[in-house]
Amino acid sequence: MGYASILRDGCFAGETHIVTGGGSGIGRCVAHELASLGAHVVITGRKQEKLDRVLAEIAEDGGSAEAHAFDIRDEEAVTRAIAAIVAKNGRIHGLVNNAGGQFPAPMQSITKKGFDAVVSSNLTGGFLVMREVFLQSMQENGGAIVNMAADMWRGMPGMAHSGAARAGMVNLTKTAAYEWGPAGVRVNCVAPGWIASSGMDTYGGMTKTLIPQLRKHVPLGRIGVEAEVSSVICFLLSRAASFVNGVTVQIDGGAPLGSALFPISEGRGTEPFDGFHRAVMPDVLAEKKPS
């Protein structure tokens, strides 16, 4: 059994695509789908051992990949890493700016250090990677970039730092799309809602207890799966999206549309697209299924 992508076999053959944060979660899923479609995938992250595990999975599935461990918040490290990737592979066809992270906290308790760390992970680091990919490859050769945002359309209570950073990424995407479009570079963004991914297991306390109940706040009656995010990302990277530029695609089941004045009714909802053959249910959802 391999990745069951909805896209055409071999549609990324001969191309090199970078996926930051490719050692786990959505990034790991995207790396697998791109590799299954013929791309040579470059996964990046801070921990080499996590990257090595994904490399082994992709190799076992017959795909092509390499890994580079560095911190996207370190400007010099980013510049060196992109230079090494270009030197080894030549043109970079696509970049998935997936790396990031945050922690739950009420706004009044977030320190400057904590705020800066989350903004660096979710906005500044992504800017550094896309700037270097543009300067070192795409300015001359064109390409496609997909950035990562989140469901922050009504604010992000409990994660003010992440909401601010993700909103900044949506705006940064628009600016890059306009400035870099003449070079043949398309820049788009995805904004996932609640997705069953390994990142859910990083939360504790009240956040952990709330996760199994999230589906009750989604009109489609469930949370999403990694493959449903990856499929949109891969489409945006593909030639089929050649005239899509500067948009942010929400992948959230319609959750931000809700209102306490109109509660969600019980219904059939939709079935998840289980395209990722190596997907693993997060422990926080496996331990106690929602009632």
pLDDT of residue 291: 41
- Contact 4/275 with Cβ under 8 angstroms? yes
Cα→Cα distances 120→84, 126, 161, Å: 23, 8, 10
Task: Outline where DSSP puts E strands in 151-290.
Answer: 185-192, 195-196, 224-225, 248-251
List the structure tokens of 264.
């969600």
pLDDT of residue 119: 97
pLDDT digits (tens, 9 = 90+) for 199-215: 777 777 777 788 888 88
pLDDT of residue 289: 43
pLDDT of residue 112: 97
Would you tell me how many other CB atoms lie within 10 Å of the CB of residue 278? 16
Rounded mean pLDDT of the chain?
94
Q: Above 70 in pLDDT, residue 290? A: no
Q: Above 60 in pLDDT, residue 243? A: yes
Share above pLDDT 70 across residues of the chain, in percent, rounded to a whole number? 98
With b meaning 16 or more CB within 10 Å and e meaning fewer, what string describes 160-182?
bbbbbbbbbbbebbbebbeebee
Q: What residue type is 273 in one-letter code?
A: F
Give me the residue spans of the domains in the chain.
Answer: 16-254+279-286
Would you tell me how many other CB atoms lie within 10 Å of the CB of residue 145? 27
Phi, psi values for residue 95, rounded to 5°: -130, 130
Q: Above 70 in pLDDT, residue 260? A: yes
Domain 16-254+279-286 superfamily per CATH? NAD(P)-binding Rossmann-like Domain (3.40.50.720)
Cα→Cα distances 14→17, 82, 204, Å: 10, 19, 42
CA quadruple 159, 163, 164, 169: dihedral, nearest 10 = 140
Nearest Cα neighbor of 131 from 168, 83, 87 is: 83
List the structure tokens of 146.
């997909």
CA quadruple 67, 123, 192, 214: dihedral, nearest 10 = 110
pLDDT of residue 216: 87
pLDDT of residue 83: 98
Contacts of 207 (CB under 8 A, 6+ apart): 104, 158
Q: Above 60 in pLDDT, residue 287? A: no
Nearest Cα neighbor of 165 from 120, 128, 114, 130 is: 120
Q: Does 233 or 260 have the greater pLDDT score? A: 233
- Contact 245/188 with Cβ under 8 angstroms? yes
Phi, psi values for residue 45, rounded to 5°: 175, 180
Q: Above 80 in pLDDT, residue 37? A: yes
Q: Does 203 or 51 have the greater pLDDT score? A: 51
pLDDT digits (tens, 9 = 90+) for 135-170: 999 999 999 999 999 999 999 999 999 999 999 999
